[in-house]
Structure 1
Amino acid sequence: MVPNRRGRSLSTALFLLALGYFFLLQLPFSLPSWNYHRRPTPVKNENIRPDAIHLDRAHKIHPIASYIPLPTNPKPLPRIQHEFEPESWLERKRRTQRQKAVKKTFLHAWNGYKNHAWLRDEVSPVSGKYEDSFSGWGATLVDALDTLVIMGLDGELKLALEALEQIDFTTTFSKEVNVFEIVIRYMGGLIAAHDLTNGKYPILLKKAEELGNMIFYAFDTKNHMPQMRWKWGRSAIGQEIEPNPHTSLAELGSLTVEFTRLTQLTGNPMYYDAVQRITNELDKVQMRTKAPGLWPNFVDALRLDFNGSEFSLGGGADSTYEYLPKEHILLGGQTDQYKKMWERSLDAIKKNLLFRAVTKEEDKQILFTSNLQFTGGASHIAHTSDHLKCFIGGTVGIAAKIFNRPEDLSIARGLTDGCIWAYDSMPTGVMPETFQFTPCADLEDCPWDETRWYESVLRQPIELQQHRREAQKIVAAEVIPPGMVGTRDSSYKLRPEAVESVFIMYRITGDKSLQDAAWRMFQNIEKMTHTNFGHSAVKDVRDLDTKKSRQNGKLLAR
């Protein structure tokens, strides 16, 4: 089953809100303090017994004899951000009004969590009940720390830091720990808040290291690849664990930034060593897969087998590619390994996955990436996009700047415009989770062709007027905008990837139309997802009266 990463979702609205707020911080600006600092009552976790086993006395079965050293002499990197002109008073007024709206929306979600699920993982935005989806260590609280810093909510941050003392990362009621989710939410939240506050609060690094010491046992296997669905109880009592033979690429390849930064902050080489071993394996096999330059969505981490047949930038693969240029930046450009791996990947993406969609906006390159599958020696392309892929526009933009590849900026903008178009095309102004599109034959020349669109919808040539009417009926019944062929999944799961790419491209280009696009996204998301306790996933973005999902649409966001 492809992990949907819950959108990176638990916190995904928090990410949307923090990003939206940060989006508006073109110039330094402070807002009045907000008086929401009542000390919340923790929701007691009855699942942790006093006699629960702990990892703090475990020993390693496969210790590392010699750690891979962390590079320590960073080089200057090219500038990423646009040189902004001073804003006018009208622009400043509009920006600060939008900031206030984003902050108000965040506080609504934060207070829903604080009042109903404090120190539990998340609040159900529909029922107001708590859920422990990420091992019960207060995932929303930890994941929101950097947002509290960015928004200047010092009183709320103080409450959260006090609560951190109560979190014990050496034990959990969960039988399995999802290493990927724990690292991006907990370790990412702790380290980001530590860095944003310049190390002002020692508890942040203390807890990050406590978590790192625990998670490191998931790497205690014969080949030192982590058991991503970690049976931590076995490690706690000294039993052998093995890497999972069916591991998603995204889970395996998306630990580098957090672990590397933890080594940089603590001086302990074991964290960087752990993820660099994974990188070396990915580097070694990258040009030997069925689609050289790309890695399959799922790999056998036990046998180090990368012979899978499905390739995509969506769920199961996405953040491995995203982390390549980001790790290069974090390492200060001291090694060309991540640059080389990125350039191989992008060349393969251009060759195998990149397509332009047939739309009425002929003046724009509306770009998406498709899915590639090998069956019986033959390759098959599915022109399907999904919200998780929307990270790629911003990632290509960052890589174009730091690797001095200006020719890639138009691709970055086209991929970002594709996600904006998908938002703007829907009746609710919110992009569906998964949809199909009609591909252009040429990236440069792609006139609107209504007949071809109808043929894609009907899945047969339009030879009679009856065929055209049948296609029109499908378009009307399924609410398909021109250019889309259908929506496989019309829900919205509080995904942050599209807004993130819009933010990044705005910072790279200075194009203020991107600010306006993000504002439209924010307003429509807020309108569709607002509940009494936070923000919820919605079932159908084609329907203005769609129901809120009872499947925990998660509230805040990274």
Structure 2
Amino acid sequence: MLRVLPLLLLPFTYTPVLTLAGSVQRPDLQLPASAAANRDAVKDIFVRSYESYRKYAFGHDDVLPVSQRSLDSRNGWGASIVDAMSTMYIMGLDGYFTEAINFVKTIDFNVSKTGATVSVFETTIRYLGGLLSAYELSGKKESVLLEKAKQVADKMAFAWQFRGQETRVPFGSLNFARNQPSQSTSNIAEAGTLDLEWATLSKYTGNDTYRRLAEGSARAIANIPAPLPGLAAQGIDPSTTSSVGGYITWGGGSDSYFEYLIKYARLTNTNDNLFADTWHTAIDSSIRHLLKNSAVGNYTYLADQDDYGNIVETSSHLACFHGGNWILGGKLLNNETIVSIGLALADACWNTYASTETGIGPEGFAFISQDSLSTLDAISPEQKAFNAQHGFFITSSGYILRPEVLESNFYAWRATGNELYLDRAARAIISFNKYLNVGTSGGFSGLKDANNFSAGRDDHTESFWFAEVLKYLYLTFDDPKHISLDDYVFNTEAHPFEAPPARPLYGSGHILGKSPHPFVLQSPGAPLPQVSPHVSPNNV
């Protein structure tokens, strides 16, 4: 008999009710004695990684630890320094933190040092988020962090311009030299993953314009007619505030828009139910239309939907944040069905780690569901064999130091107290030390093939290795009262922001109905912006 949870296979038919918000963390959470050694092991990985950066790339954005060179992938403002600051503070690495503050004093965000256009999304989550989180964590005493946050946001505000008029959503990239946006198609992740950071900047500067711009963008996306209720299409044209194509995914290009809907409701305690209700509606539609169980192993996945409403049974490391997000939102809505599905999604994503030679998950993967219309004819014999054993098959084999699987594992641990999640995190530490450690430089690098170590390393340490991967791993083994999920909200780059005491209720308890204006497919198959390093627009 298949081990099936009926709620995961049937339409999501429960009647939503308004219930009091629950605690996100299990109140009596206790760490085993072994946790301290694992926490220290993560801190040691951070120090070795950061020393490699300091030796070969300090002041630049990234270190290339194999070739022992630097790379400026984020406009040359020292992304690894700013992105690492909140992790430094949480780990008690005071010397690094002080050095980072002194470096921040030298940054001029008015000019891109590389001459390249500036990504509003990446600059917001890494630089603006990193600066504001470090400002809060260090007691709001380092005024230069707030000053630099304001400087970079003031430049990015020009992204909300088209032909001399303010747009409802920003363009994705901006020429800082001319304060002129690149007028091209964007996606909902780029345009809708700004409000946590910009609202926090308004909180500390007293200038509400920052919040108004970013919140207005998320609000505009939520109100665009969607292919499925709550599930906006991935592509968006900022000049018209209309959808481009109809592709739906919880993966790159859409991911963090959905992530921020419930997080914004929690961080701000807004009285506007739009954010929590849109998230709740997205969950409802996802369970009705996208939630699938694999024919092998009965693993729970979220599929994509293409421009024409066809299910695409594909996923990605990027999409694996969804388990943690569903756990968080399910707790805030006090809905254990959503929490249980979030845990199942986290399990399926962990299976992508447990199934490879290195114990580390691949960039992209696909699956065959129990009700799939697909066949195995289109995949290679090697993929067929892998699927028969593991319940998924690899479509993009690299690993570029992504955090999402360990992020969801962290939420699962803090919410349940099940030591299974500690065991998984401990196995990740072993794999990282064995396969990612570049012995000659002391740094850590991604892999060209997570299932074939002999394929080599990709020679790049992304700044989110410091900001996200090592922070989530460290906090998994740290005192649960430290950076509690009931006191902080993490941005999508894992920078924690102080949250007020939780409201009794989040949302109205109702699923939003269909838009009065039906979704009209425009420009199907149109090219969309590249969503993240080494990833194609629709994760395929």
Residues 530 and 380 of structure 1: is their aligned pair in 2 closer, same or farther, counting only changes over 3 Å? same
- In structure 2, the partner of 1:439 is 369
Contact 1:294 1:311 in 2 (8 A): yes
Mapping 1:201-240, distance limit 5 Å: 201-221=142-162, 222-224=165-167, 225-235=169-179
Is residue 369 from structure 1 mapped to residue 302 from structure 2 by the alignment?
yes
Specify the code of the residue in structure 2 equivalent to 1:542.
Answer: N
- In structure 2, the partner of 1:46 is none
- In structure 1, the partner of 2:404 is 497
Q: 1:404 aligns with which of 327, 331, 334?
A: 334
Contact 2:383 2:394 in 1 (8 A): no
Q: Could you give the per-residue CA deviations for residues 449-490 of structure 1, whole angstroms, max 9, x where no partner exists?
A: xxx9xx944459xxxxxxxxx95x6655xx556244532111
Q: 2:226 aligns with which of 289, 299, 321?
A: 289
- In structure 2, the partner of 1:350 is 287
Residues 324 and 128 of structure 1: is their aligned pair in 2 closer, same or farther, counting only changes over 3 Å? same
Contact 1:124 1:533 in 2 (8 A): no
Larger radius of gyration: 1
Is residue 318 from structure 1 mapped to residue 255 from structure 2 by the alignment?
yes
Mapped partners of 1:324, 1:522: distance in 2: 31
Specify the code of the residue in structure 2 equivalent to 1:297.
Answer: Q
Is residue 126 from structure 1 mapped to residue 66 from structure 2 by the alignment?
yes
Residues 79 and 175 of structure 1: is their aligned pair in 2 closer, same or farther, counting only changes over 3 Å? same
Mapped partners of 1:398, 1:370: distance in 2: 21
Contact 1:245 1:300 in 2 (8 A): yes
Kindly state the Cα deviation for residue 339 of structure 1 after the two structures are TM-superposed. Answer: 0.8
- In structure 2, the partner of 1:304 is 241
In percent, how many aligned pairs have the same letter? 29
Mapped partners of 1:254, 1:493: distance in 2: 22
Contact 2:63 2:460 in 1 (8 A): no
Tell me, what secondary structure is at the counterpart of 1:233? coil
Mapped partners of 1:351, 1:247: distance in 2: 27
Mapped partners of 2:22, 2:121: distance in 1: 30
Specify the code of the residue in structure 1 equivalent to 2:144.
Answer: I
Q: Could you give the per-residue CA deviations for residues 97-152 of structure 1, whole angstroms, max 9, x where no partner exists?
A: 11111111000111111111111111112211111111111100000000100100
Tell me, what secondary structure is at the counterpart of 1:538? coil
Is residue 339 from structure 1 mapped to residue 276 from structure 2 by the alignment?
yes
Kindly state the Cα deviation for residue 419 of structure 1 after the two structures are TM-superposed. Answer: 0.7
Mapped partners of 1:524, 1:456: distance in 2: 33
- In structure 1, the partner of 2:89 is 149
Structure 2: state its 5+ residue gaps. 1-19, 469-540
- In structure 2, the partner of 1:103 is 43
Kindly state the Cα deviation for residue 303 of structure 1 after the two structures are TM-superposed. Answer: 1.2
Contact 1:250 1:317 in 2 (8 A): yes
Mapped partners of 1:201, 1:535: distance in 2: 30
Contact 2:359 2:428 in 1 (8 A): yes
Residues 474 and 358 of structure 1: is their aligned pair in 2 closer, same or farther, counting only changes over 3 Å? closer
Residues 242 and 543 of structure 1: is their aligned pair in 2 closer, same or farther, counting only changes over 3 Å? closer
Tell me, what secondary structure is at the counterpart of 1:268? coil
Q: 1:188 aligns with which of 129, 137, 147?
A: 129
- In structure 2, the partner of 1:248 is 187
Mapped partners of 2:181, 2:55: distance in 1: 40
Contact 2:447 2:456 in 1 (8 A): yes
Q: Could you give the per-residue CA deviations for residues 159-190 of structure 1, whole angstroms, max 9, x where no partner exists?
A: 11111111111112323111111111001111
Specify the code of the residue in structure 1 equivalent to 2:90.
Answer: I
Contact 1:426 1:481 in 2 (8 A): no
Is residue 198 from structure 1 mapped to residue 139 from structure 2 by the alignment?
yes
Structure 1: state its 5+ residue gaps. 1-75, 236-240, 443-451, 461-469
Q: Could you give the per-residue CA deviations for residues 63-122 of structure 1, whole angstroms, max 9, x where no partner exists?
A: xxxxxxxxxxxxx964211112555xxx22x11111111111000111111111111111
Residues 136 and 314 of structure 1: is their aligned pair in 2 closer, same or farther, counting only changes over 3 Å? same
Tell me, what secondary structure is at the counterpart of 2:243? coil
Q: Could you give the per-residue CA deviations for residues 525-552 of structure 1, whole angstroms, max 9, x where no partner exists?
A: 3322111252212111121433001466
Contact 1:431 1:541 in 2 (8 A): yes
Specify the code of the residue in structure 1 equivalent to 2:326.
Answer: V
Is residue 556 from structure 1 mapped to residue 496 from structure 2 by the alignment?
no
Q: Could you give the per-residue CA deviations for residues 241-273 of structure 1, whole angstroms, max 9, x where no partner exists?
A: 456341021101100100011111111111001
- In structure 2, the partner of 1:521 is 428
Is residue 530 from structure 1 mapped to residue 437 from structure 2 by the alignment?
yes
Is residue 160 from structure 1 mapped to residue 100 from structure 2 by the alignment?
yes
Mapped partners of 1:270, 1:84: distance in 2: 41
Tell me, what secondary structure is at the counterpart of 1:488? strand
Mapped partners of 1:418, 1:294: distance in 2: 22
Q: Could you give the per-residue CA deviations for residues 175-219 of structure 1, whole angstroms, max 9, x where no partner exists?
A: 311111111100111111112122132222222122222222222
Residues 486 and 410 of structure 1: is their aligned pair in 2 closer, same or farther, counting only changes over 3 Å? same
Tell me, what secondary structure is at the counterpart of 1:188? helix
Q: 1:384 aligns with which of 298, 314, 332?
A: 314
Mapped partners of 1:214, 1:298: distance in 2: 24
Q: 1:84 aligns with which of 16, 28, 32?
A: 28
Residues 485 and 142 of structure 1: is their aligned pair in 2 closer, same or farther, counting only changes over 3 Å? closer
Q: How many residues align?
A: 442
Contact 1:538 1:547 in 2 (8 A): yes
Mapped partners of 1:278, 1:260: distance in 2: 12
Contact 2:360 2:431 in 1 (8 A): yes
Kindly state the Cα deviation for residue 223 of structure 1 after the two structures are TM-superposed. Answer: 3.6
Query: TM-score, normalised on structure 1?
Result: 0.75
Query: TM-score, normalised on structure 2?
Result: 0.77
